[in-house]
């Protein structure tokens, strides 16, 4: 089968907006993108392998520049032909939802993978492994999925006039956007619309997913992140709508927040993180919230878990804790709600279903800095930044480390050092590597597994650094004082 013919068949298979009468039209639309010379190109069986052949032909035919951005734009435009219109996607999603929520999400997730919006091949490059810690099995990911910037694209982007459209990568206006040298291609991007607290929101999947069915829920209005009672109501409404998914929000302050604070959004998916498996180690009583079961979670960060079948009272209890924390200080453990009028306290909330009940985990956050800890008092400290120096956002909070790509090579050199082989170990890793060398016996057989476990222990320490009430006697006594203030 020829490549163009294979792509047309792929479009007809995925996009039921078309019928067999559209075959000639789709052939010509494909040729318009890759050049008429591609008519004779032999195809590949797999849809994405065939896509690669078409993009290569377009470059050879001179209709696509040989830059990463240009090729990604062409990929998305070719796959846009295979993707139903937004109106059709929404109609099919909600039609499937009438059968069951999971039927709808299964369909949308498979479409987003098949049309190459979810970058499955790039995601497969990530290095992933579990690590046993005192807090259970944490998940480690070395993020190799996002492509490095092409120097030609960087040069081209410098010449692009700032348009302010779309305002950010989370806006609804990204749906179907062609892309440019300084902005990702979104021709094959689709968003399911739904109503949340009287407002229109969107539901999509993350193109570079870190866990199964990694979803994003975004406000139709471009407004900054904020955490308040509406946040808790919204999160609980989403897990009511999609009971097999968890959903959470990054905190709304710098340092302790995520990388996108300019647009209100949540993240969720079909995955059970280590924090969700962590037990409540101490029950607590919340006066005036009789329908809510509360407790402190055994976790390196400071987490209060609320469970109830009553969503309204659950949201009220969560807001009570958030508001109390926003104004709470304890100088004995360097916890301060304000310095010079600047607020420092917020929460990272995560919602899930537990049988017929609803559950909210509230992770207490404090974004202060100091002379000793200029990156953040409750941020990874200097001695663990050789592994993780970035913000501890929602995903890390729950027990999945998203580590920088540099570690793929750097840890290889650490392993060589530990095995006594010639190496180019980074100086930042040397104190840690010397400790590991003294603590364990290293062989070719056990080196990879032991090093992975060591990375997991560092990540557990990272989370302990981010915890506002430490897991020592003084920290737990301070946590008790906060609970009493509730």
Instruction: Report the distance separating Cα 79 and Cα 187, nearest Å.
Output: 8
| Bridging pattern class, strands 293-297 and 303-308 | antiparallel
What letter would DSSP give residue 237? H
Tokens 């004082």 belong to residue: 481
Determine the pLDDT at residue 257: 81
| Bridging pattern class, strands 400-403 and 136-142 | parallel
Neighbouring C-beta atoms of residue 145, cutoff 10 Å: 19
Query: Helices (DSSP H) in 124-242: which residue ranges?
Result: 151-158, 229-241
- Phi and psi at 159, nearest 5°, equal -95, -5
Angle at 458 between CA 374 and CA 297, to 5 degrees: 90
- Of 268, 275, 219, 218, the closest CA to residue 245 belongs to 268
What letter would DSSP give residue 251? B
Are 119 and 207 in contact by the 8 Å Cβ rule? The answer is: yes
Angle at 484 between CA 479 and CA 485, to 5 degrees: 95
Residues 345-356 have pLDDT tens digits of: 999 999 999 999
Instruction: Report the distance separating Cα 333 and Cα 274, nearest Å.
Output: 27
Domains of the chain by residue range: 3-64, 122-400, 404-466
Fold for 122-400, please state it: HIT family, subunit A (3.30.428)
Residues in contact with 148: Cβ distance below 8 Å, sequence separation at least 6, in sequence order:
none
The tokens describing 329, both together, are 């200080």
Where the chain has pLDDT below 70, the residues are 147-162
Are 391 and 404 in contact by the 8 Å Cβ rule? The answer is: no
Instruction: Report the distance separating Cα 186 and Cα 36, nearest Å.
Output: 24
Residues 145-195 have pLDDT tens digits of: 976 555 665 556 556 666 789 999 999 999 999 999 999 999 999 999 999
pTM for the predicted model, two decimal places: 0.95
CA quadruple 483, 484, 485, 486: dihedral sign: positive
Instruction: Report the distance separating Cα 85 and Cα 111, nearest Å.
Output: 12
Determine the pLDDT at residue 147: 63
The tokens describing 18, both together, are 């078309």
The tokens describing 257, both together, are 């927040």
| Cβ burial, residue 203 (10 Å; 0-12/13-18/19+) | buried
Give SS3 for 171: coil
Neighbouring C-beta atoms of residue 474, cutoff 10 Å: 11
Instruction: Report the distance separating Cα 332 and Cα 348, nearest Å.
Output: 23
Instruction: Report the distance separating Cα 240 and Cα 357, nearest Å.
Output: 10
Instruction: Report the distance separating Cα 429 and Cα 462, nearest Å.
Output: 15
Give the CA-trace dihedral at 135, 394, 406, 465, to 10 degrees.
-50
Neighbouring C-beta atoms of residue 362, cutoff 10 Å: 23
Instruction: Report the distance separating Cα 188 and Cα 80, nearest Å.
Output: 4
């Amino acid at each position: 089968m020829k490549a163009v013919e294979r792509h047309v068949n792929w479009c007809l298979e995925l996009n039921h907006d078309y019928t067999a009468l559209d075959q000639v039209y789709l052939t010509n639309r494909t040729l318009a993108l890759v050049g008429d010379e591609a008519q004779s190109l032999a195809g590949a069986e797999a849809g994405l392998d065939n896509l690669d052949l078409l993009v290569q032909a377009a470059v050879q035919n001179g209709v696509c520049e040989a830059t990463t951005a240009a090729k990604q734009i062409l990929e998305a435009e070719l796959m846009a032909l295979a993707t139903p219109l937004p109106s059709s996607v929404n109609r099919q999603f909600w039609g499937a939802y009438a059968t069951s929520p999971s039927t709808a999400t299964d369909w949308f997730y498979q479409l987003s993978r098949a049309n190459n919006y979810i970058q499955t091949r790039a995601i497969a490059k990530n290095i992933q492994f579990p690590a046993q810690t005192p807090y259970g099995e944490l998940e480690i990911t070395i993020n190799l999925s996002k492509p490095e910037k092409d120097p030609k694209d960087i040069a081209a982007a410098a010449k692009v006039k700032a348009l302010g459209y779309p305002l950010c990568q989370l806006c609804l206006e990204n749906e179907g956007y062609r892309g440019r040298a300084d902005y990702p291609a979104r021709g094959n991007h689709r968003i399911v619309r739904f109503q949340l607290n009287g407002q229109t929101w969107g539901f999509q999947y993350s193109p570079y997913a870190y866990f199964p069915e990694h979803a994003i829920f975004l406000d139709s209005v471009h407004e900054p992140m904020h955490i308040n009672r509406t946040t808790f109501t919204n999160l609980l409404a989403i897990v009511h709508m999609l009971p097999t998914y968890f959903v959470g929000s990054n905190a709304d302050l710098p340092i302790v927040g995520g990388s996108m604070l300019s647009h209100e959004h949540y993240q969720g998916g079909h995955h059970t993180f280590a924090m969700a498996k962590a037990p409540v180690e101490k029950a607590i009583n919340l006066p005036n919230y009789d329908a809510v079961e509360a407790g402190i979670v055994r976790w390196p960060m400071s987490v209060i878990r609320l469970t109830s079948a009553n969503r309204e009272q659950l949201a009220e209890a969560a807001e009570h804790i958030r508001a109390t924390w926003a104004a709470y200080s304890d100088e004995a453990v360097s916890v301060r709600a304000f310095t010079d009028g600047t607020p420092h306290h917020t929460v990272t909330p995560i919602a899930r279903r537990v049988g017929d009940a609803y559950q909210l985990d509230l992770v207490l956050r404090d974004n202060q800095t100091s002379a000793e800890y200029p990156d953040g008092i409750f941020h990874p400290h200097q001695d663990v930044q050789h592994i993780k120096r970035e913000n501890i956002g929602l995903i890390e909070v729950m027990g999945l480390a998203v580590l920088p790509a540099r570690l793929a090579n750097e840890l290889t050199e650490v392993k060589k050092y530990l095995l006594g082989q010639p190496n180019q170990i980074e100086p930042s890793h040397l104190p840690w590597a010397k400790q590991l060398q003294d603590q364990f016996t290293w062989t070719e057989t056990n080196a990879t597994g032991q090093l992975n476990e060591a990375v997991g222990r560092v990540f557990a320490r990272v989370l302990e650094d981010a915890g506002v009430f430490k897991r020592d006697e003084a920290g737990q006594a301070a946590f008790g004082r906060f609970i009493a203030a509730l």
